[in-house]
Structure 1
Amino acid sequence: MGHVMTVTTLSSRELNHDVSSAKKAAKKGPVIITDRGKPSHVLLTYEEFQRLSGSRQSLVDGLSMPGLSEIDFMPTRVEIKTRGVDLS
C-alpha cells in the first residue's frame, strides 16, 4: 500500500494559538495555513521540503558539518587509464 498523507487546514489565528499542534500535524502531512479563509502558506517538515524541492547538500556543505572532523575517512585511490587519440 502507498503512503497515506493527512492534509490539515488551519487559520493563521489557530496557528498562532497552537504552533506545537501544527508542527505535530506537519509530521503527518502538509498543513495549509489560511488567511481570511484563503490558503496562504503551507507548513511542511524540513525532510518533506527537501524531498519535494530536490534539495541536496553540496559536498562542501556536507564536509563543513560539525563533528565530521572526528570521522576517519580514507577514500580508495582510483586509477583511470587513458589512451591516445588520433586527431588527424
Structure 2
Amino acid sequence: MKLITSREFNRDVSFAKREARGQPVLITDRGQPTHVLMSIADYRRLTGEGENILDLLAMPEAVELEAQDGADGAWDHRESL
C-alpha cells in the first residue's frame, strides 16, 4: 500500500490516481491515516458491488437487438389493437 501525506495528495492528485490504479493509496493527515484512494474495480471487488446502470449505458461494445415479427426496423410505439 502506497502512503502519501494529504499535502502530497493536494500537490499532485494525478500522481495519487496513477498509483491507485495498481494499489490502494493511504492518505495521512498529521501522521494519522484518514483516507484510502483505490481504483473503482478494487472498490467494487471489496464491496461486492456489481455494475450500475451508468456502466451498462456506457458499454463500448455494440448490442444487437432482435426485431419483432413483421417489424420494418422502425420503432412502433402504438399499442396493438
Partner in structure 2 of residue 55 of structure 1: 49
Q: List structure 1 runs of 4+ shifted beyond 6 angstroms.
A: none
How far apart, CA to CA, are the structure 2 residues paired with 1:64 and 1:31? 28
AA aligned to 1:72 is E
Q: 1:66 to 1:22 in 2, by over 3 A?
A: closer
Q: TM-score, normalised by structure 2?
A: 0.67
User: 3-state SS of the aligned residue for 1:27?
Assistant: helix
Partner in structure 2 of residue 4 of structure 1: none
1:72 to 44, 51, 64: 64
* 1:40 and 2:34 matched: yes
Q: 1:26 to 1:63 in 2, by over 3 A?
A: closer
Aligned pairs, number: 65
User: What is the CA-CA distance between 1:22 and the residue it aligns to?
Assistant: 0.6
Unpaired runs of 5+ residues, structure 2, are 67-81
How far apart, CA to CA, are the structure 2 residues paired with 1:64 and 1:24? 25
AA aligned to 1:10 is I
Partner in structure 2 of residue 21 of structure 1: 15
CA RMSD of aligned residues (A): 2.5
Q: TM-score, normalised by structure 1?
A: 0.62
